[in-house]
């Protein structure tokens, strides 16, 4: 099994981890109800996807 001969410096370690940050999610606007939704997903507020009704939504009364 290969074992590193020398310890990695903090600069090498941190420059490698510089790309590990979390990016903000991407949201598009639903063409039917204008609610934010993720691309290629069913709209959670109206249930439409690609110009057709896919999911029946239920409104909750409080």
pLDDT averaged over every residue in the chain: 88
* 7 in a structural domain: no
* 6 in a structural domain: no
Instruction: Kindly report, residue by residue over 39-49, the tens digit of the pLDDT.
Output: 999 988 888 88
* 36 in a structural domain: yes
Give the C-alpha separation, 1 to 15, whole Å.
Answer: 26
Instruction: Please state the domain count of the chain.
Output: 1
pTM of the model: 0.52
* 1 in a structural domain: no
Q: Quote the domain boundaries for residue 54.
A: 25-62
């Amino acid at each position: 099994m290969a074992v590193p001969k020398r310890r990695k410096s903090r600069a090498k370690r941190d420059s490698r981890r510089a790309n590990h940050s979390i990016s903000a999610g991407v949201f598009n606007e639903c063409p039917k109800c204008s609610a934010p939704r993720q691309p290629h997903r069913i709209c959670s507020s109206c249930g439409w996807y690609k110009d057709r009704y896919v999911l029946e939504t239920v409104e909750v009364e409080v």
